[in-house]
Structure 1
Amino acid sequence: MKNNSSDPRYKIAHREALIGVGLALINFIWWFAFAYGLGDRSPEDYTYILGLPSWFVYSCIGGFILMAVLVTFVVTVWFKEVPFDQEEGGQE
């Protein structure tokens, strides 16, 4: 039985998992900062964009657009194609 810690696929998967956690943290911080930063006022004091409160536009719509761009960039630039099948010469 092969030692899985020496398999380079595990190193790649670990790195990509950490990147995914980082992206999730960025998403949460972005959402929290705008939702509670701009939304922590009386509704009479809100500013509106296309009829929606600005905190909602920036946190939910802007955050979604930002994360879609970031995830697309990260997947195309930093993630690697990893084969899932057994290595050649190994036993199944």
Structure 2
Amino acid sequence: MIGQKEKFNPRFKIAHREARIGVGLVLVNFLWWFGFAYGLGSKPVEEYSYVLGMPAWFFYSCVVGSFVMIGLVIFVVKTFFKEVDLEEDEEEEKPS
């Protein structure tokens, strides 16, 4: 039976780190959406302000939020994510 240390692959550490970053991005997206949608949208309809014909809460939470998140994801992927080879090394496959 192979021990736990022999099974460990450094790619798992990278994958777990990137998964945590992805969860963080989802939380940021939700907080952005929730903050604008319920912060600006909790007023009576008569008191809404409008941007480009849309209620401000919708414009900032959905339209602007989408562009902010697209930019943030591009930045995070280019800055924090690493290229990982998914192929097994030939040296690891050969029995010694």
TM-score by length of 1: 0.92
Q: Is 1:4 the equivalent of 2:7?
A: yes
AA in 2 matched with 1:55: W
Shift of 1:24: 0.2
Match of 1:52 among 54, 71, 90: 54
TM-score (ref. length: structure 2): 0.89
Unaligned 5+ residue runs, structure 2?
A: none
Rounded to whole Å, the distance in 1 between the matches of 2:88 and 2:28 is 35
Query: Does residue 71 of the first structure (1) align with residue 73 of the second (2)?
Result: yes
CA shift, 1:70, in A, is 0.4
Q: Distance in 2 between matches of 1:20 and 1:65?
A: 17
Change (3 A) 1:45 1:73: same
The alignment-based identity, stated in percent, is: 55
Long gaps (5+) in structure 1 = none
1:88 paired residue among 67, 87, 90: 90
Cα deviation code 1:49-75 (max 9, x no counterpart): 010000000000111011000000000
The CA deviation at 1:4 is 3.3
RMSD of the alignment, in Å?
A: 1.5
Q: Number of residues paired by the alignment?
A: 91
Confirm or deny: 8 A CA contact 1:4 1:10 kept in the other structure. Answer: no
CA offset at residue 17 of structure 1? 0.3
Please give the residue correspondences for 1:21-40 in structure 2 after superposition, counting only pairs within 5 Å: 21-40=23-42
